[in-house]
Amino acid sequence: MTKQFLETHKDNYDFIIANGENASGGFGLTKKHFKQIISAGVDVVTLGNHSWDQRETLELVEESSKLIRPINYPRTSPGLGFGNFMTRSGDYITVIQAQGRIFMEPLDCPFSAIDSVLESIPDAQAIVVDFHAEATSEKKVMGYHLKSRVSAVLGTHTHVQTADEMIMGSTAYITDVGMTGVQESSIGMRFAEVHKRFVNKIPARYKPADEAATLCAVEMRIEQGKAKTINRIQWRDEP
Ligand SMILES: [Fe+2]
């Protein structure tokens, strides 16, 4: 779905970021799928709480600077939590990922981890933060914390696109970008097994839903590091 979308839309964008932590059947990101996403035209891929579901990602994140894991992971974790890149028009852009702590595993403070990175980045540079978190309140507060200090705070992880996109000061914000996958599903997984687990309390192996997918994304216009617009996208490859 990402490939189809980018075949026709890639040239509209200066820089493309994708969250890939569920790209391999819902659990992590294999080398093969990472390569497919990059060859489709994505510039940087972020991870999240499923970063290490595929053991090969531990190597991959060291091999490629285009793959970023949450910055507030332990210092001994492989890979980096942010990267500096150049857009197609020759502007600098920094991509940072942090993971939330509410209803998620304990990690270092995402707020202070991002603050430390920002101290090392020049003004007027585009800075996009992927905040991978469960709780809406934590995500909204991250938007407030980084208001007019970064170009965008984009929530990921909950898979359902929220309709609260806004410009806060000079920062584009959305609580969740949403997933690229089958929307009529339990956040990408087939209903049958998940339903069994909820209703009967019997463990079942989840399987990815395989009906027609929808790509969810946001597009933004950023000038001199300041966000001017943010628009939600929901795209299906059919008439
Ligand atoms: Fe996640």
Nearest to 98 by CA among 77, 79, 113: 113
User: What pLDDT is recorded for position 54?
Assistant: 95
Q: Summarize pLDDT for 65-94 with one digit per residue, the tens.
A: 999 999 999 999 999 999 999 999 999 999
Residues 76, 81, 85, 87, CA torsion sign = positive
Collect all residues with Cβ–Cβ distance below 8 Å to 207 and sequence separation of at least 6: 189, 190, 193
Catalytic residue among 9, 33, 50, 159: 50
- HSE-up of residue 164 (Cα within 13 Å, Cβ side): 15
Cα of 192 to ligand 1 centre, how many Å? Answer: 21
Give Dmax (Cα) for the chain: 55
User: What pLDDT is recorded for position 203?
Assistant: 85
195 included as an active-site residue: no
Cα of 110 to ligand 1 centre, how many Å? Answer: 15
| Ion ligand 1 — residues with CB < 5 Å | 48-49, 157
Cα of 48 to ligand 1 centre, how many Å? Answer: 5
Q: Two tokens at 195? A: 């339903």
User: What pLDDT is recorded for position 237?
Assistant: 76
Q: Which residues of the chain have pLDDT under 50?
A: none
